[in-house]
Each structure stands twice: as structure tokens, then as C-alpha cells.
């Protein structure tokens, strides 16, 4: 649905209109920062953080995703703290080539990954950039 398709009270409901408005407004906020911890959970229902999330890894971490919707596209940026950190990826990722990528281990470097939620707890995983 495009903004031109929705006129509240005509061919779209007020809820559809408000959801579209919220998506457009929140698109201006492009990078949400997650809190580092033993498990880093990316709650994709938190629209105040947008669909691009980053975390600076302070140690080896387990990554989790919650509240993804089918068709949702999101980006995760992993930043090495002091370097050498690894992650255990959330389940359900289908990586191109069949296996999860190895993170850059250099301190302060960033690796970026894109995901498409294709079904409940099923994701296509893509490498967007490494060693940035």
C-alpha cells in the first residue's frame, strides 16, 4: 500500500492510515542501538529503533530476534568492541552458501547483515558489508 492509496474514511481505514503515517515518520530514524549483554535481543516491534540496529559487542554473544513479521526487512550491524568477539546467530537463518559468515575480529570494525523474514521464525540472511 502506498500513501496515495490511503485516504482515511474513503479507501483505507483510520488504522491503515495511522500505520502508514507511523512508518513514514519512523523511516527518518534509521539506526537503533541495542544494549550489549550475554544475549542481545533485537525486538523488531520497537518501531522507535527502526529496522536498522547496531550493537557493540563486549564479548562473545548470542543473538535473538523477537516480533519479526513476515516480509519485514531488517539490518543488523555488529561492531567489535576490543576485538575477537564471536556470535551465535538466532535460529531459522538460511544463509547464502549454506553457512553463517565468520565475523571480522579487528577491534572497532563493523560487519553488516541484512535479513528478510520469509515465514514465522525463518529468515534469509545476507552479508552487506564486512570489515568496515
Question: Is the torsion defined by CA of 92, 132, 130, 60 positive or negative?
Answer: negative
pLDDT in tens, 64-98: 999 999 999 999 999 999 999 999 999 999 998 89
Domain range summary for the chain, segments of one domain joined by +: 1-29, 31-129
Judge contact between 71 and 49, C-beta under 8 A: no
pLDDT in tens, 11-68: 556 666 555 555 555 554 568 999 999 999 999 998 888 899 999 999 999 999 999 9
Q: Label the pairing between strands 39-43 and 122-129.
A: unpaired
State the Cα angle at 104 between 128 and 50, rounded to 5°. Answer: 45
Judge contact between 93 and 125, C-beta under 8 A: yes
Q: Residue 1 — very low, low, confident or very high, per pLDDT cuts 50/70/90?
A: very low
CATH topology of domain 31-129: Jelly Rolls (2.60.120)
pLDDT reported for residue 28: 46
Amino acid at each position: 500500500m502506498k500513501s496515495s492509496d490511503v485516504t482515511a474514511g474513503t479507501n483505507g481505514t483510520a488504522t491503515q492510515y495511522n500505520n502508514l503515517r507511523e512508518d513514514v515518520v519512523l523511516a527518518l530514524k534509521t539506526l537503533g542501538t541495542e544494549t550489549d549483554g550475554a544475549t542481545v535481543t533485537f525486538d523488531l516491534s520497537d518501531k522507535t529503533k527502526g529496522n536498522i540496529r547496531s550493537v557493540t559487542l563486549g564479548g562473545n554473544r548470542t543473538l535473538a530476534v523477537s516480533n519479526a513479521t513476515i516480509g519485514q526487512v531488517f539490518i543488523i550491524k555488529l561492531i567489535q568492541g576490543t576485538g575477537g568477539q564471536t556470535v551465535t546467530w538466532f535460529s531459522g537463518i538460511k544463509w547464502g552458501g549454506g553457512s553463517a559468515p565468520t565475523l571480522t575480529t579487528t577491534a572497532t570494525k563493523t560487519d553488516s547483515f541484512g535479513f528478510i523474514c520469509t515465514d514465522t521464525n525463518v529468515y534469509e540472511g545476507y552479508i552487506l558489508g564486512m570489515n568496515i
